[in-house]
């Protein structure tokens, strides 16, 4: 059970920070980028409707020590979670392999966001991550950033990796107990804090 999906479904249609949440739950596989489940298309369809104020994407990262703000996405897939034919390839073959895109964060008050997260008791990693990994989170975010470049005045995009919840790992007998687990309600408090920091 992916807790980010649980959160997305629970908040869909609700008002958060004065905005209506329109959730999209994507599979945690490379199908989100290359397959029939390409998650970028429904996001772009919503963006082109003119109704999207901002895009917040949450991804699960078992090694995260709190909410981790990702600031760079690479045109490269390399992960033990990929099939052998998927790993070691660019997301877009017609763009430079290993090209890095850093989305504009100027519409997000990151300092206030970190303060609010801490105030809400939500663990947060200080500093910015420039490595979103080599799996579907990075690939989706990279592809979305490329697509948003062709849209005039695109909405701001923020990608945040979050730790697992106890429910998420309850069926994993060899789970590394040294890794941080956070309750599901902290995910929701964290998401609400993020939305409040849109400028």
85-112 confidence digits (pLDDT tens)? 888 989 888 899 999 999 999 999 999 9
Give 3-196's CATH code, choosing from 3.30.70.380, 3.30.70.20, 3.40.630.20, 3.20.20.150.
Answer: 3.40.630.20
Q: Give the other-Cβ count within 10 Å of 49's Cβ.
A: 8
Mean pLDDT of the chain: 92
pLDDT confidence bin for 42, thresholds 50/70/90: confident
Residue 6 has a pLDDT of 95
What predicted TM-score, i.e. pTM, was given to this entire model?
0.94
């Amino acid at each position: 059970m992916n807790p980010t999906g649980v959160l997305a479904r629970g908040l869909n249609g609700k008002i958060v920070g004065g905005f209506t949440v329109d959730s999209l739950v994507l599979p945690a596989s490379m199908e989100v980028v290359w397959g029939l489940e390409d998650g970028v298309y429904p996001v772009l369809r919503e963006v082109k409707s003119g109704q999207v104020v901002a895009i917040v994407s949450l991804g699960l990262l078992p090694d995260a020590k709190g909410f981790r703000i990702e600031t760079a996405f690479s045109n490269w897939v390399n992960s033990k979670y990929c099939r052998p034919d998927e790993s070691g390839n660019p997301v877009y073959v017609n763009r430079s392999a290993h090209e890095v895109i850093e989305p504009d964060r100027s519409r997000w008050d990151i300092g206030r966001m970190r303060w609010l997260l801490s105030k809400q008791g939500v663990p947060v990693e200080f500093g910015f991550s420039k490595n979103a990994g080599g799996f579907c989170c990075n690939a989706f975010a990279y592809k979305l950033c490329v697509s948003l470049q062709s849209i005039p005045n695109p909405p701001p995009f923020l990608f945040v990796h979050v730790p697992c919840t106890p429910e998420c790992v309850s069926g994993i007998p060899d789970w590394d107990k040294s890794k941080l687990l956070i309750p599901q309600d902290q995910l929701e408090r964290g998401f609400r804090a993020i939305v409040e920091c849109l400028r």
